[in-house]
Structure 1
């Protein structure tokens, strides 16, 4: 079921018109119409929309099958007994930054009226966390997991000194774009290691600034 169909289905289950739903969300009716006809796929106010529809934002996005409407499992449909419940207070909507913005994330002004594509996550992260879309195939592991192929979206927790073995976001040689690699520490030596063996490890010798580490990878199959 698509995002548009989930919104429409849930609105009708609650007996709401598009105008009534729009009033609850605090948007124009046209915004709801665009969502339900498939023109708006990732609205900025998805958390308010989920609250108005009394469901989980993750369910609206297709990441879980359970509608979290505040009822007990016995009150919900029996077919959802295997679903994972997510506390609505744990859901975050993160801005998806470009590689250049990610490399300079601390200076990016996230104004409320700035149009960022958003990524929904239930992973516990700080207020400074952001998301970034992966490009290139240096983190595509041909031998299995972990693998972060091009097009994936990573949720990043800013941190300048992550632990050994973490997948990190970093900039190299003062380049403006951020890159993603695995951090490996061997005694006094540190390396940024691609998951794709076709690429060589990069030794860290003052040429690297670590922005943060990856908490979640989101990808479409």
Structure 2
């Protein structure tokens, strides 16, 4: 999956099963699926590599063709690019704030095909961390998100955006309101109710870009 730059959410959408089901397959908790052919197509491999018939086997093993290890010294392939990862900037997913100045840390690898498919220019794509729990369980504390800074002129209801709200960098689900207003929503709505702002108040909210990718570490 890493070599193809497919996360579990994208894989679940491609083969038509839940992300939870994909996680169970990847972790080896589930060893059978009726979606063996769809899974093989999504992973660009022969179904035989995934096991006999519906028996997927341990999806965490290196039997997946195309999955290989690499580090910062591994050269980029012709179909890969690196995006800047600003480790000193954190998007607040709560009531916190960001600290330090902009500083480029390690770079994250993406396939060119992924950005082409999403219509994202490399120059507009950056990665940062999320801090706080207002976007849990989708974006838990310390999740990493990819932001398309070129996609900020039109708000798509229900999409996740990075915003500069009066000097505070935040990540929220945005929704248009009648009269030109805007609503900021959190996935953790019990602790963080929606915030509504009028068209006038909206002037203090600058859209940095739309979140097009995220990565989280699952608890063990």
TM-score normalised by L of structure 2: 0.51
Matching residue of 1:184? 175
Distance 1:138 1:100, change over 3 A: closer
Is the strand fraction higher in 1 or 2? 2
- Separation in 1, partners of 2:7, 2:185: 30
Matching residue of 1:208? 205
Matching residue of 2:192? 199
Matching residue of 2:94? none
Matching residue of 1:99? 89
Matching residue of 1:33? none
2:108 to 116, 119, 129: 119
Q: 1:148-175 CA deviation, whole Å, 9 max, x = no partner?
A: 11111001001322322210000111x1
Kept in 2: contact 1:156–1:212 (CA 8 A): yes
Structure 2 counterparts to residues 122-161 of structure 1, below 5 A: 122=111, 123-124=114-115, 125-126=120-121, 127-141=123-137, 147-158=138-149, 159-161=151-153
- Structure 2 gaps, min length 5: 9-25, 27-43, 51-61, 68-76, 92-101
2:164 to 171, 194, 197: 171
Distance 1:190 1:89, change over 3 A: farther
Aligned residues: 141
Kept in 1: contact 2:49–2:64 (CA 8 A): no
- Separation in 2, partners of 1:154, 1:201: 21
Q: Residue 190 of structure 1: SS of its match in structure 2?
A: strand
- Separation in 2, partners of 1:183, 1:84: 37
Q: Residue 116 of structure 1: SS of its match in structure 2?
A: strand
Matching residue of 1:46? none
Distance 1:154 1:178, change over 3 A: same
Matching residue of 1:219? 216
- Structure 1 gaps, min length 5: 1-55, 66-71, 102-107, 109-113, 142-146
Pairwise CA RMSD:
4.1
- Separation in 2, partners of 1:130, 1:190: 24
- Separation in 2, partners of 1:62, 1:192: 28
Matching residue of 1:41? none
Kept in 1: contact 2:7–2:215 (CA 8 A): no
